[in-house]
Amino acid sequence: MQSNLLCKSERLHVGIIMDGNGRWATRRGLPRLAGHEAGVEAIRRVMEAAPKQGVGTLTLYAFSSDNWRRPQAEVTGLMALLRRYLRNETKNLARNDVRLTVIGRRDRLPEGLAEEIGFAEDFTARCGTLHMRIAIDYSARDAILQAAARSVGANELTRENFAQLVTGETALRDVDLVIRTSGEKRLSDFLLWESAYAELHFTEVMWPDFGANELADALASFAGRERRFGGLQHHASEPAQIA
């Protein structure tokens, strides 16, 4: 298992598609919003466990740009839950040395929510044990499209400077591992640029039941994989091969 003493450049970037909240609640005869509320507890568990397991950046998919098509009552409840999370958890994030960043559009959020996000980001800006990014009203394809539009007229376009336009970060590590809960096996427009060489881990566990042990299982699976990034691994006794 990864040590929490790894230097920042070695610590992993894990993206999680937090799926299954509604089904978790429905199976228990509860309203769907109860599943989302239980999902907030899972965020807290994973946030606390991640640095101890070698994770330096954690990106959580909370609300996609396509999720606006869900029933209005559910969307309203989700936005209220986000507002409550920011108000209740910002100081706790700072105590745990967790920097919070929200990615995605803010112009379609309910009144005042963008300002509350900005406050939480500013309050935790100097924290460094974990960078937790939450994707709200987010679409990876839209992020790439907007970056392409901003790059028009650039004198020199490289993968590195284009990545900054996509992510809004100057030194964001590419995603090492994408985890999706609840048994679904698709990326759903999540971090498509950043996950070009990410390993994928799918689990049947619903997000509200996900915690430190499930994160450890996913990271153990990741640690056992051979990452070649398009090349070939070779041993010192063997000549390197070119493909």
**Residue 119 vs residues 60, 99, 221: alpha-carbon distances, Å:** 19, 12, 37
**CB under 8 Å to 120, separation ≥6 — which residues?**
86, 90, 93, 100, 102
**Which amino acid type is present at position 49?**
A
Q: Computed over its alpha carbons, how large is the radius of gyration of the chain?
A: 19
Instruction: Check: CB of residue 14 under 8 Å from CB of residue 61.
Output: no
67 is catalytic: yes
Rounded to whole angstroms, the Cα distance separating 7 from 54 reads 9
- In the set 4, 21, 66, 67, the catalytic residue is 67
Phi, psi dihedral angles at 48 (to 5 degrees): -75, -35
Instruction: Check: CB of residue 175 under 8 Å from CB of residue 225.
Output: no
Rounded to whole angstroms, the Cα distance separating 187 from 200 reads 9
Phi, psi dihedral angles at 156 (to 5 degrees): -140, 120
Rounded to whole angstroms, the Cα distance separating 209 from 12 reads 23
Phi, psi dihedral angles at 17 (to 5 degrees): -90, 105
66 is catalytic: no
Number of neighbours of residue 17 by Cβ within 10 angstroms: 24
Instruction: Check: CB of residue 47 under 8 Å from CB of residue 3.
Output: no
Catalytic positions, written as ranges: 19, 67
